[in-house]
Structure formats: C-alpha cells, structure tokens
Amino acid sequence: MSDQIKIIEMGPRDGLQNEKTPVSVEARIAFVEALVAAGLNTVEVGAFVSPKAIPQMASSEQVLRGVSHVKDAEFHVLVPNEKGYDAARAAGAQVVSVFAAASEGFSRANINCSVAESIERFKPVLARAKADGVKVRGYISCVLGCPFDGEIKPKAVADLAVTLWDLGCYEISLGDTIGVGTPLKAKEMLRAVGSELPVGNLAMHFHDTYGQALANLYAGMEEGVRVIDAAAGGLGGCPYAPGATGNVATEDVVYMLEGMGVKTGIDMDRLLATTNEVAGLLGRPPVSRVASALNAKRKRLAKS
C-alpha cells in the first residue's frame, strides 16, 4: 500500500461537463493552472464533442491552448470520433481519451449507438493516434452497474477492456458511472479485468453516489491498481442516473492516501483553495467531505 499512487484529475472535464452553471474559458484555464500548482500534474482539461450536446465543454480547444505554457504537466482531452480527434490535434493534444460503455442500454442513451458501433467509431482515432505518436486512454462506463440494464457482469467489462487494449489504449479506466458499486463487487470486476490485462495499466474511476467510492478504491488498491481518477470538490454527475453524484473528490482521496502513509505530492491547502474557488463559480459548496470539514475548521479558527 506504500506504493506510489497516481491521481488523474477529472474536474475540468468530467466534473464540469455535468454542471448546469457554465464556466468561462478563462476560469477553466485558471482552474487547470491551480490544480497543477497544487501538485496534480495529470489533468483532463476538456472534451472535443458537439457544443450542442455538451455546451459546458464548448471551446475546449481554447482551454487546451491556454494551458500549453504550463510545464511538467500532462493534459488529456476526450474525443468521440475522428472529427473530435482532428480538432484536438489542431489544438496541440498529445494524449486523448476514447470511451465505451459496458452496457448496451447506457451506450444507446449516452451516444445513440450500440457498444460495437461505438468501437467502430473510434477505431480510426486509435489508428491515427498510433501513427501520430499520440497516447490514447480508454474509458469504460458502467462497470459496476447501469441505470438501464442493471447489474453488469465482470466478464463483459473484461472483454471490452481487452478490445480497447488490443486497439492500442495504453491504459483502461474502469468507471462506476452511477456509483452503485461496493468493495467486493469492485474486487470481482477488477480481478476479471486483471486476469486479462496488466493491473498496472488499469485505473479506477469511481463515483460516490452511495458513499462507497473510497471503500471501492481501497479494495482496488488491495488488488494492485495504482491509478485513481478523481475530481476536485466531487464535481460531476450522470444525466441518465437521477441522484447520481460526481466523481470521488480529490481531497477525500488525498486525505485517505496521506493518512495511510502514501505520499501523493499534493498540497492540500492549495487543492482546497482551488476547490473553493470553483465551487464559488458554481454557486454551491463542495460535495467533498474533506473540503467541508476543513472549511468548517478554518471558519471556527477564524472566529476564535
């Protein structure tokens, strides 16, 4: 457990894309800069998708270009197809992500096609990325449950992970999109995928709808997974799952890891300030338990 854990920050993309309040390009750039300054040097900064479908991600090319001056950081962007890949590359993308769902119901609701059709859409992206020397990360949604299809079999997740790996993804991020998983189910799923692929190339992307994300992450760490996706302030959600909350909060993950003796290299004070800033822009307090506790503590100390 003392091994290095890598945290990939999702706030500027998976976090903000589900927020009703739009955030300006300038504020999104400042958000990314602050996250890197806090020690989060791998950040997903935007998505090259239709602004009609996801208006919160409009002008992602401006965000990517706007953070290009930041040194010693790796920036990821989501691309759904070749058109998105073209736009991402024009903006200087060096790492892109593609996505598929482990359930047919979610795939059809989210991107209006079957799982097999979604793979066909991004096959050319992976082929071109390989030729261009661009790294591709693969996301799998609904690995522990789907709002339409219910329980998802671990083998279905493993089979899809193998497909993405064979197409050229360097890392597979396994997403509990609606946050219904529990630790033993998370272990079962990770063991199924880990029996087919190197555990060192897997990541956990767990949402916290039922308050199980940290427990599930710990279970995954026991299985040897060392990459965690998280979002500052617990930003995010799922439009197809009523009541679904955001990603596990970065502050909560950092607090847990540091308390276990796992050094993250992340400055909690700077991360908290960043979380509070973006929460202010959205007009609501952070969902994060750690941010809430530290903010209350500071308010109490300021009064005394």
Instruction: Please give the model's pTM, rounded to 2 decimal places.
Output: 0.96
Residue 281: per-residue pLDDT = 96
pLDDT in tens, 138-196: 999 999 999 888 999 999 999 999 999 999 999 999 999 999 999 999 999 999 999 99
pLDDT tens profile 89-135: 999 999 999 999 999 988 888 778 888 998 999 999 999 999 999 99
Q: Which CA distances in Å does 14 have to 8, 206, 292?
A: 11, 12, 21
* Cα 108 off chain centre by: 21
Contact criterion met (CB below 8 Å) for 35 and 274: yes
State the CB neighbour count (10 A cutoff) for residue 9: 31
CA distances (Å), 89 to each of 29, 33, 125, 270, in order? 18, 21, 11, 31
The percent of residues in the chain predicted with pLDDT above 90, rounded, is 84
Closest C-alpha to 249, from 301, 289, 299: 289
How many residues does this entry show for the chain? 304
Report residue 72: phi and psi, to 5°.
55, 40
| Lowest mean pLDDT segment, chosen from 17-21, 107-111, 201-205 | 107-111
Closest CA to 236 of 8, 21, 13: 13
Annotated active-site residue in 142, 146, 169, 238: 238
CB proximity list for 72: less than 8 A, separation 6 or greater:
36, 41
* ∠ Cα 5 7 10 (to 5°): 165
**Count of CB atoms situated within 10 Å of the CB of 237:** 25
Q: Are 28 and 63 in contact (CB under 8 A)?
A: yes
Residue 113 annotated in active site: no
